[in-house]
Amino acid sequence: MKNNYKEQLEEFQQKYDKLLAENHDLSEKNAELKQFSHLASHDLQQPLNNIISYLSILENSKDKFDKMEQLSLKVISKSTLKMKSYITSLLDFSLIGTSKSKENIVVKEVLNDVKDALYQQISSTKAALSFDLTNHEMIGYKNDIYLLFLNLIENAVKFHSKEKSPVIQITSELKDDQYLYTIKDNGIGIPEDEVNKIFDIFYTIHPDEEFEGVGIGLAQAKKITKLYNGKIWLDAAPNKGAIFYVSFPAK
C-alpha cells in the first residue's frame, strides 16, 4: 500500500514538474511575442516611414524626372507601401488573443459594428448585406471576434463579379451544441485547387492589379476560431460564390 502511494506521489510530482516546465516555456514565448510586437511596431516601421517620407518629397518633384525615372519611383512607392501593409498585418496577427481582459460579447452587436465599418465599401459596390441571426453571447476579446467577421465580410464585398453587385447573407443557428455562422456571397468564387491554401498566411489567389491585399485576413480568421475552440471551413467554386462556415461551442 505504501509503495503504491509512493508511486502515485512520484507520478504526480513528475506531472507537476512537467506542467511547470510547460508554463515556463509559455511565459518565454509570450515574452518573445511582446518583443516581436515592439520590433514590428517600431524598429521595422520607423525606417520604413522615413523611406515613405522621402518618397513623398520625390513625388512632388517627379515632373523633373524622365519617364523611366517616374516609373521607377512609382514602383518603389508601391512596393514600400506594400511592405508597410505586410508589417502592420503581421503585427495584428501576432496580437490576436493578447488583449488585457476578456468580456461578454454579443455577437449580433459585433456584426452590426462590422457593417458600419464597411459602409463605404458596401455603398460603392452597391452590395446587399442581410443578417438572420440567433442570439449568441460569448466570453472573449471583442476585437478578435470583430476582426474575424470583418475579414470574412470584407472579402465577400471585395471579391465580387464586375457584372453584378455583391449579395451577402449572414445567418446563424444553434446546432448540435454549436453556434454555426454562415457567410454566403455571390462573388467570383475560389478555384477548387486553392481551397486548402487560402488560410495560409500571406497567401493570395489574385494579383494586386485585380484585387489589392496582403493575404492575411483568412489566416487571422483561422487563428481566431482556433483560439475560441471553434472551426472555420468553406464551400466554393469558380464563378459560383463562396460559403464560409464558422462554428463556436455553445458552452
* pLDDT tens-place string over residues 47-77: 788 888 888 888 888 888 888 888 888 888 8
Q: How confident is the model at residue 26 (pLDDT cuts 50, 70, 90)?
A: low
CATH dotted code for 103-249: 3.30.565.10
- Please give the Cα distance from 162 to 134 (Å, whole number): 33
pTM of the predicted protein model: 0.70
Residue 115's nearest CA partner among 162, 170, 160 is 170
- Please give the Cα distance from 155 to 187 (Å, whole number): 9
Residue 113's nearest CA partner among 139, 91, 142 is 142
Q: What is the mean pLDDT of residues 14-33?
A: 67
For 90-115, the pLDDT digits (tens) are 777 777 766 667 889 999 999 999 99
Distances (CA, A) of 143 to 111, 155, 158, 217: 12, 18, 21, 14
User: Is residue 208's pLDDT more than 70?
Assistant: no
- Location of C-alpha cell 507601401: 81
Q: Contact 129/114 with Cβ under 8 angstroms?
A: no
- Please give the Cα distance from 170 to 107 (Å, whole number): 12
